[in-house]
Amino acid sequence: MDTIKLNIDNREVEVEKGTTILKAAQKLGIDIPTLCHFELNGLNVHNKPGGCRICVVEVVKDFNGRPRRNLAPACVTECVPDMVVRTNSIRVINSRKTVLELILSDHPNDCLQCAKSGSCELQNLAIRLGVREIPYKGEQSSYSMEVSPSIVRDMNKCVMCRRCETVCNEYQSVGALSAINRGFPAVVSTAFDQHLTESSCVFCGQCVAVCPVGALTEVDHTNRLIRDIANPNKKVVVQVAPAVRVALGEEFGMKPGSIVTGKLTAALKQLGFDYVFDTDWSADLTIMEEGTELIGRLTKYLAGDKSVKIPLMTSCCPAWVNFFEKQFPQLREYPSSAKSPQEMFGAIVKSYFADKINTKREDMICVSVMPCLAKKFECERDEFKTNGNPEVDYSISTRELARLIKISNIDFNNLEDVAFDSPLGESTGAAVIFGATGGVMEAAVRTAYEVITGKTLPKIDFTELRGLEGVREATVHVQDGLDLKLAVVYGLSNARKMLEQIERGESPYHAIEVMACPGGCIDGGGQPYHHGDADIVKARWEAIYQADKNMPIRKSHENPSIQAIYKEFLGEPCSHKSHELLHTTYFDRKKSIENE
Amino acid sequence: MSEVKIKIRKEVQDKIAAICKHFRNDAGELINVLHQTQDYLGFLPVEAQEVIAQELHIPTAKVYGVVSFYSFFSMTPKGKYAISVCMGTACYVRGAEKVLDAFQRELGIKVGETDKDGLFSLNSLRCVGACGLAPVALVGDKVYGRLTADQVKNIVQEYRDKE
């Protein structure tokens, strides 16, 4: 390994060739401030445009032994042997501050009302660099705010770091966003400034997750929810997705990876929901439906039926559903017809459960707490409505729930653990792992194995399906003559590769799991901001599998409440009733070019 | 949640597809494709950009990003007589801005716009390589050098008279 020795702030450091000054300084514990730079280490997300110039440093001695004339951006400048760097000279401090003041001169001064206040990287920089006045007065951007079902865009707050553009294009391959125009009018936009709903946007919300400022935020339903809970004529039911319980604690100062299921349930009760249920319950239901569909397709396929669509692809992730409907509608018969757990839950709540508590559908409000912003869009899909009444009325993100708990003056950290209500609150370890990449596949395999073989699994943990690489594959031996070839991907650019492989007729897999966000739902667009700290995502990932281990039952088909609903209401998996309530069809939403 | 439909005449779509094919449908040739498409259509409407995006397998937003970045590319149809005023350094210091203002006043349109009858469009550009004649304006391919603001009225009239 080639290494380089250099000197930063009068301290020697040895780094690998190709290391940037930013990384070399980090090795010494020197944290050079950055703004546009973003990296989610090990999770395939990088943005290194070197554009904002906040991270400038002084190169006192360069490769030629002389000082470099201009300050160098630390995030994109590679170390050279015997380099001498100052990260805190007066020239650096003044330049950084000037750069920041210039950025702030075209930034609305509305921190007190801003949705990002308190977790804004620009605000933190202003505090850190000691900005007390903005001496520059100039033109101000005046874009109108755009609201879509999931995402709010306020480009007046954009600092042109272009992180959103990078995740949208490189990580997701969605291509909804691009930098447009030049000079002062330059901004990140959709094609022809069209509304996000008309663009190729899939509402994954990763642009929101990486935005350093308040330019991209979630549609906030907290006020709507407060009003609904206060309405005595409505029965308000809440469901909570698996990934929320391993991240919510961060908003209350707990260490990343804290599992707060009991406190979360207690907080929801205190907020005044009539019933506090668990999306994990319907994740178990999803496994019954999707698993049965997989076995059905496989049986036909192995019997030589060429018309059957194999691989089966998962359909829980609403951003992924949007993606294939908008970009690969011709392959829309490959994903399972099973609705997502969120929608299955809503469908059951507004039929089976509404009857049980003798309440009319219109008098019920079903709310979900999701780590996701695409779930907000999913709630609004027409096919998930009955006479205009949606299965799930609306979805709030983990961040919105944290705000609601704070607004309501609930001392989250000191809450006594409370259990979910029955019957839609009982779940298994197989359901909680839906929150991480590979989890849906593992849960499906746990059930499919036992259903196909009639035997008990020798080993519950399919560690070969776990991991944080963007594309993973595994072969699971089920019985003689049946080795399941499986793939697990996250990131829609990886999903695109899978779809292209299917299109070429070269896919070697029986089933593929797709999640849009890095590491799965644990880093969904609605989760607490991690500001590029991949260790936070890894801690959530470990917590998901710990939560699985903590469960007494760890296979979906063994969930007694799921067994009961099939017995008394649904009949059997993929029955007529199941199809009516728990399955869906997909649409061709590709932009079409037609001749006039 | 309705589908987005792009309407374009068949021969226009075929011609743009042929231009893309000429450049091997290579995304790296986007700027050349845009040049030829603009030569053909006179401007780059939304529909043309959608076809280019599809042919080159790149997001429409990226195509629009490039079109909006370069002032040479236009999304509004040019007038029959496209007027370009050079705002390069030499022309600028010799009063190009006054000439441009005079054109805006005379035509009643701003830079980047086309007048109501589609007769004149006005643009500024950077250096046409005739700095010795500064300030310079072009009407179509015809070059007018050593311009002053007072001459603008006559130049415009010259073309109006042709109609």
Q: Is A4 left (phi over 0), alpha (psi -120 to 50) or beta?
A: beta
B23 within domain boundaries: yes
How big is the CA angle at B25 (ends B21 and B30), to the nearest 5 degrees? 110
Alpha carbon of A482 to those of A445, A449, A456, A485: distances in Å?
A: 13, 10, 17, 9
* Nearest residue on chain A to B60, alpha-carbon basis: A191
Q: Letter for the amino acid at A34?
A: T
What's the DSSP call for residue A47?
E
Between residues A346 and B76, the one the model is more confident about: A346
Does the distance separating the beta carbons of B62 and A169 come in below 8 Å?
A: yes
**A453 closest CA partner among A484, A474, A475, A432:** A484
Residues A38 and A158 in one domain: no
Contact A181 B1 (CB under 8 A): no
Instruction: Give A267-320 as a DSSP string.
Output: HHHHHT-SEEEEHHHHHHHHHHHHHHHHHHHHHHHHTT-TTS--SEE----HHH
Which residues are bridge partners to A7 per DSSP? A12, A84
Does A506 map to a domain? yes
Nearest-Cα distance to chain B for A182, in Å, is 5
Number of domains in chain A: 3
Across the interface, whether the CB atoms of B65 and A179 are under 8 A apart is answered yes
Q: Which residues of chain A neighbour B7 with C-beta distances below 8 Å? A: 594-596
B6 part of contact set with chain A, CB < 8 Å: yes
Residues B44 and B88 in one domain: no
Decide if pLDDT at A596 tops 90: no
Shared domain for B128 and B65, answered yes or no, is no
Whether residues A282 and A359 fall in one domain: yes
Cα separation, A83 vs A8, whole angstroms = 8
Q: Are residues A439 and A455 in the same domain?
A: yes
Taking the Cβ of residue B61 and every Cβ of chain A, the question of whether any pair is shorter than 8 Å is answered with: yes
Residues B158 and B108 in one domain: yes
In a domain, A97, yes or no: no
pTM listed for this prediction: 0.93
Enumerate the residues of chain A whose CB falls inside 8 A of the CB of residue B58. 175
Q: In Å, how far is B163's CA from the nearest CA of chain A?
A: 32
Q: Do B110 and B132 lie in a common domain?
A: yes
- DSSP-derived 3-state class of residue A248: helix
3-state secondary structure at position A517: coil
Confidence of residue A592 (pLDDT cuts 50, 70, 90): confident
Q: Report helix, strand or coil for A249.
A: helix
Q: What is the Cα–Cα distance from A117 to A482, expressed in whole angstroms?
A: 54
Residues B34 and B94 in one domain: no
How many Cβ pairs within 8 Å bridge chains A and B? 85
How close, in Å, is residue A594 to chain B by CA atoms? 5
CA dist B128 to A376, A462, B138, B141, Å? 53, 68, 9, 11
Q: What is the 3-state secondary structure (H, E, C) of B20-59?
A: HHHCCCCHHHHHHHHHHHHHHHCCCCHHHHHHHHHHHCCC
Residues A466, A438 contacting (CB under 8 angstroms): yes
Confidence of residue B78 (pLDDT cuts 50, 70, 90): confident
Chain B contacts in chain A segment 196-235 (CB below 8 A): 197-200
A396-420: average pLDDT:
98
Residues 6+ apart with CB under 8 A from A430: A283, A284, A287, A442, A443, A446, A447, A548, A554, A555, A556
Range scoring the smallest mean pLDDT among A39-48, A202-211, A278-287, A313-322: A39-48
How does pLDDT run across A118-163, given as a tens digit for each residue? 999 999 999 999 999 999 988 899 999 999 999 999 999 999 999 9
CATH assignment of the domain containing A63:
3.10.20.740
Q: Which of the four pLDDT bands, split at 50, 70 and 90, describes residue A432? A: very high
Mean pLDDT value of segment A269-280: 98
Asked whether residue B75 is assigned to any structural domain, the reply reads: no
Residue in B4, B65, B71 closest to A180 by CB: B65
Highest mean pLDDT: which range of A304-308, A457-461, A538-542, B87-91:
A538-542
A589 lies in some domain: no
Statement to judge: residues A269 and A174 lie in one domain: no
pLDDT at A281 exceeding the cut of 90: yes
Helix (H/G/I), strand (E/B), else coil: A385? strand
Q: Do the chains contact at A191 and B1, CB–CB below 8 Å?
A: no
Residue B3, pLDDT above cutoff 70? no
Which residue matches tokens 């949007």? A322
Cross-chain residue pair B63–A592, CB shorter than 8 Å: no
Chain A residues 458-477 with a CB less than 8 Å from chain B: none
For strand A38-40 and strand A45-47, is the pairing parallel, antiparallel, or unpaired? Answer: antiparallel
Q: What are phi and psi of A138, to 5 degrees?
A: -155, -165
How near does any CA of chain B get to the CA of A189, in Å?
8
Residue B126 has pLDDT above 90, yes or no: no
In a domain, A524, yes or no: yes
**DSSP conformational letter for A350:** I
Residues B33, B92 share a domain: no
DSSP A316-349: --HHHHHHHHHH-GGGTTSB-SBPPHHHHHHHHI
pLDDT over 50 at A219, yes or no: yes
Determine the structural domain holding residue A159 and report its residue range. 102-218
Query: How far are the Cα atoms of A170, A273, A586, B77, B138 from residue B114, in angstroms, in the given order?
Result: 38, 60, 44, 7, 15
Tell me what pLDDT residue A42 has: 86
Q: Which residues contact A508 (CB under 8 A, 6 or more apart)?
A: A485
Q: Which of residues 114-133 of B touch A (CB under 8 A)?
A: none
Tell me which chain B residue has its CA closest to the CA of residue A383. B1
CA dihedral A110, A112, A114, A116 (to 10 degrees): 120
Among A157, A192, A218, the domain boundary falls at A218
Tell me: pLDDT of A5 over 80.
yes
User: Do residues A184 and A319 share a domain?
Assistant: no
Contact yes or no for A191 and B59 at CB 8 A:
yes
Q: Is B76 on the interface with A (CB under 8 A)?
A: no
Helix A222-230, helix A398-407: angle, nearest 10: 60
Residue ending a domain, among B69, B100, B119, is B69
Residues A554 and A523 in one domain: yes
Q: Would strands A72-73 and A56-61 be described as parallel, antiparallel, or unpaired?
A: antiparallel
Specify whether A65 is located in the same domain as A185. Answer: no
Q: What is the pLDDT of residues A19-69, one digit of tens each?
A: 999 999 999 999 999 999 999 988 988 998 889 999 999 999 999 999 999
Last residue of a domain, one of A174, A190, A218: A218
Query: Would the CB atoms of B51 and A593 count as touching at under 8 Å?
Result: yes
At A208-218, the pLDDT tens digits run 999 999 999 99
Of B8, B63, B64, the CB nearest to A595: B8
Residue B151 lies inside a defined structural domain of this protein: yes
Task: Answer yes or no: do B93 and B142 share one domain.
Answer: yes
Task: Please report the pLDDT score of residue B128 as a whole number.
Answer: 82
CA-wise closest residue to A584 among A349, A332, A415: A332
* Residues B95/B135, Cβ–Cβ less than 8 Å: yes
Residues B64, B116 within the same domain: no
Cβ of B64 within 8 Å of Cβ of A178? The answer is yes
The partner residue sitting opposite A180, judged by closest CB among B3, B10, B68, is B68
For residue A256, the one-letter residue type is: P
Q: How far is residue A177's CA from residue B60's CA, in Å, rounded to a whole number?
A: 9
- Residue B25, in any domain of the structure: yes
Of A175, A197, A381, Cβ closest to residue B61 = A175
In a domain, A358, yes or no: yes
Confidence of residue B5 (pLDDT cuts 50, 70, 90): confident
Task: Please give the single-letter amino acid code of residue A186.
Answer: A
Tell me, yes or no, whether A289 and A388 share the same domain.
yes
CA dist., res. B62 & res. A190, Å (int): 9
Question: Out of B6, B46, B68, whose CB is closest to A594?
Answer: B6
Question: Considering the domain boundaries, does residue B76 fall inside one?
Answer: no
Query: What is the residue-averaged pLDDT of chain A?
Result: 96
Cβ–Cβ contact B1 with A under 8 A = yes
The tally of domains found in chain B comes to 2
Rounded-to-integer distance, Cα A389 and Cα A381, Å: 11
Structure confidence at residue A44 (pLDDT): 85
B48 touches chain A (CB under 8 A): no
CB A349 within 8 A of CB A581: no
The distance of B43 to chain A (nearest Cα, Å) reads 15
A24 and A52 in a single domain? The answer is: yes
Enter the DSSP assignment of A20.
B
Residues of B in contact with A182 (CB under 8 A): 68-71
CATH of the domain at A205: 3.30.70.20
Residues of chain A neighbouring B13 (CB-CB closer than 8 A): 593, 595
Least Cα distance to A372 among A166, A218, A169, A165 occurs for: A218
Q: How is residue A514 written in tokens?
A: 């797709």
**Per-residue pLDDT at A166:** 96
Cα of A177 to nearest chain B Cα, Å:
6
**Can you tell me the distance from the alpha carbon of A511 to that of A508, in angstroms, rounded to the nearest whole number?**
9
Is residue A519 in a domain?
Answer: yes
* DSSP state string for A120-188: -HHHHHHHHTT------------PPPEE-SSEEE-GGG-----HHHHIIIIIS-----EEESSSTT-EE
ipTM of the complex as predicted: 0.90
Q: Which domain holds residue B117?
A: 81-162
B60 in A contact zone (CB under 8 Å)? yes
A171, A195, A218 - which closes a domain: A218
Residue with tokens 């450091």: A13
Does A417 map to a domain? yes
- Catalytic positions of A, please? 290, 293, 316, 336, 375, 378, 383, 521
Alpha-carbon distance of A177 to B59, in angstroms, equals 9
Residues A163 and A240 in one domain: no
Same domain, A209 and A235: no
Domain match, B88 and B64 both: no
Query: How far is residue A267's CA from residue A350's CA, in Å, rounded to a whole number?
Result: 24
Cα-flanking dihedrals φ and ψ of residue A238, to 5°? -120, 145
Contact A332, A324 (CB under 8 A): yes
A595: in domain: no
Where a domain ends, among B69, B102, B119? Answer: B69
**Residues B136, B113 within the same domain:** yes
Contact A177 B61 (CB under 8 A): yes
> A240: closest CA among A208, A267, A221?
A267
Check CB contact of A188 with chain B, cutoff 8 Å: no
Q: Is A591 close to B50, i.e. CB distance below 8 A?
A: yes
Whether the bond into B45 is cis, omega within 30 of 0: no
Mean per-residue pLDDT of chain B: 93
Share of chain A above pLDDT 70, in %: 100
Contact across the interface for B8 and A593, Cβ inside 8 Å: yes
The arithmetic mean of pLDDT across residues B26-53, rounded, is 95
